[in-house]
Amino acid sequence: MNLLRIALKSARFRRTSLLLTIFTIAISVTLLLGVDKIRKESKSSLLNTVSQTDLIVGARSSPTNLLLYSVFRIGNATNNVTWDTYQDIASQDEVAWTIPISLGDSHRGFRVMGTNTDYFDFYQYGEKRSLVVGEGERFAEVYDTVLGADVANELGYSIGDQITIAHGLVSADFAEHDDKPFTVVGILDKTGTPVDRTVHVSLAGIEAIHVDWQGGGRSAVELDAEQALLLDLTPEAITAFMVGLENRAQTFRVQRAINDYSDEPMSAILPGATLAEFWRTISTVEQLLFVISGFVLIVGLLGMLTTILSTLNERRREIAVLRSIGARASHVISLILLETLLVVAAGCMAGVALLYGLLAIARPIVARRTGIDLAMTWLDPTQLSILAGVVLGAGLVALIPGIIAYRRSIQDGLALKV
């Protein structure tokens, strides 16, 4: 208790420099914990991009490529799946539901996906969260479209607006299906997934805009929107499809059967396992951020060491007096260590408070812009370990000035002029 009183009184006379040190430690702790928080929430968001889907099926390809184009709308399929094959698999007894996916077109930089209404019924993300049409309704007619939240927000669309779809992934005048415009009938709520950046239309709509196209351009015989409706708009092929099974225990058996399908080469992947593998391939970025944060913390601790060392000259008389009245080596070192731990503890508490303050401010903004929910949960074991590591590191750093202070002679301190 005597050491604590001495430490507090000594700190009071050096409060300006110590407050700056506390601020530095607080910033370092906030950055470390913030990176860890964002890393975990981002990983959770990625792994929950699609949930309750047992298999994703597409043309024979690598699991990552199939995942990227079917879920994240990145890249292109190596081939398509014929409609007959899709119907054959969808009709099997083990299959509870399927969601067909047709890709290849775009609208002003956003991918267009053809599907059916099963998409709204069965697609889930996060913790079993279903898609919600926040404005309007699902598509019902051939030329209806439902927009993801980001598409509507960034392009300023509302219910009733008309849009045109471009052939391929790069919008150009010669590739526009401007003779068959789509009407916005619905806008989905924010999900924080690639759904937000997708233009959704029916499979019949995809077929309708391509009935008079051959080899990437319009054929000699052009059909307008009304004429296209008179044709059979059943697709010949789709890009991929998602599968939900009656019994998840059959997942591996159905996956093996699809991979060995004799009529055409296909791949069936488990989205959860493939997402986890995909995260491991991009985790280098999060590790780099964590290393950078660690260096920031080291700089903070070195700054604290510099502050303590710079004040040793001011405290030479104080320490000499303590030693002259019988203070042992352990007392002097304990005093420096105690002061350091008090400063670091204050910095850690300030850092945690700053972190939660920033989370409270940023949470609604991040959720609105990205869909990632920065949960206001208490520190987990990993984050508590980070704080414990900060305190331990500070304790080791404090031993240096403590030993230096003790090794100075009593006469050196008492000879100083007051």
- 312 and 227 within one domain: no
- 294 and 341 within one domain: yes
- 337 and 207 within one domain: no
Three-state secondary structure call for residue 63: helix
Where does a domain end: 269, 300, 327? 269
- 152 and 41 within one domain: no
Element (H, E) at 237: strand 237-238
Q: Which amino acid is at 110?
A: F
Distance CA 276, CA 404 (A): 51
- 298 and 197 within one domain: no
- Report if residue 277 sits inside a domain: no
- 299 and 254 within one domain: no
Where does a domain end: 269, 292, 315? 269
Other CB atoms within 10 Å distance of the CB of residue 95: 17
> Domain range spanning residue 385?
2-46+284-414
Whether the pTM exceeds 0.75: the reply is no
Q: Which amino acid is at 14?
A: R
- Please return the burial class of 36, using the count of CB atoms within 10 Å of its CB with bins 0-12, 13-18 and 19+: buried
Distance CA 72, CA 271 (A): 12
**Tens digit of each residue's pLDDT, the chain (418 residues):** 566 676 666 667 667 777 887 888 888 888 888 888 887 877 777 778 899 999 999 999 999 999 999 999 888 888 999 999 999 999 999 999 999 999 989 999 899 999 999 999 999 998 788 999 999 999 999 999 999 999 999 999 999 999 999 887 765 555 688 889 999 999 999 888 899 999 999 999 999 998 887 665 566 567 888 999 999 999 999 999 999 999 999 999 999 999 999 999 999 999 989 988 888 877 777 778 778 777 877 777 777 777 666 666 656 666 666 656 665 656 667 777 777 788 888 889 999 999 999 988 988 777 666 656 677 788 888 888 888 888 888 888 777 776 776 665 444 544 545 4
State whether the Cα torsion 33-38-41-47 is positive or negative.
negative
DSSP structure class, residue 212: T
Question: What are the phi and psi torsion angles at 202 (to 5°)?
Answer: -80, 160
- 26 and 6 within one domain: yes
- 59 and 114 within one domain: yes
Residue of 144, 149, 160 lying closest to 189 (CA atoms): 149
- 147 and 74 within one domain: yes
Query: Which residue reads 């050491």 in tokens?
Result: 3
pLDDT value, residue 46:
78
Task: Locate 362 and state its tokens.
Answer: 């940023």
Residue of 375, 374, 378, 373 lying closest to 125 (CA atoms): 373
- Report if residue 274 sits inside a domain: no
- 233 and 103 within one domain: yes
- 107 and 27 within one domain: no
Three-state secondary structure call for residue 383: helix
Distance CA 42, CA 45 (A): 5
Distance CA 257, CA 209 (A): 34
Query: Which residue reads 């067909």 in tokens?
Result: 100
- Report if residue 276 sits inside a domain: no
- Please return the burial class of 291, using the count of CB atoms within 10 Å of its CB with bins 0-12, 13-18 and 19+: exposed
Total structural domains in the chain?
Answer: 2
pLDDT value, residue 201:
97
pLDDT value, residue 409:
45
- 130 and 210 within one domain: yes
- Report if residue 36 sits inside a domain: yes
Q: Give the largest CA-CA distance in the chain.
A: 106
Where does a domain end: 269, 298, 324? 269
Straight-line distance from the first to the last Cα atom of the chain, in angstroms, rounded to the nearest whole number: 28
- Report if residue 123 sits inside a domain: yes
